[in-house]
Amino acid sequence: MVRTKAPVRPIVATLVVILAASGVGMGVYFMRFSGSPFVLPYQFFRTTFTIAPHFILQAPRPAPVFYHRATHDHYADAEVGAYLDARANRPPHGVIDKAKSYARFYVGPFLALPFVTLP
């Protein structure tokens, strides 16, 4: 039985067409969302609506105008508080509350029974 080699050119052409269509589609979506085909929506959101940067070595941005109390409480109070705690080299912001809520969610009353009866 003689095997023939599959032509590489049609495979490469198909991949190029698929990648080009995906790139154009994503560029159009980014353009409609942020005004630039090269600015991702999450990047636009972070630079427009948040104060605290991702990394503690970066300077905080000026506070934007918040139109809702809940967004102000989250981005201006909780997120900036966590950022300032990290800059001051304090323990992670709200780690005890997170541990309680994770234990309540993952272990819960039904899954706590095996741990109680284990000894």
Helix (H) or strand (E) holding 18: helix 8-34
Are 67 and 57 contacting, i.e. CB atoms less than 8 angstroms apart? no
| Cα distance between the two ends of the chain | 67
pLDDT tens, N- to C-terminus, the chain (119 residues)? 667 677 889 999 999 999 999 999 999 999 999 999 999 999 999 988 899 998 888 999 999 999 999 999 999 988 998 888 888 887 777 777 778 888 888 887 777 777 778 77
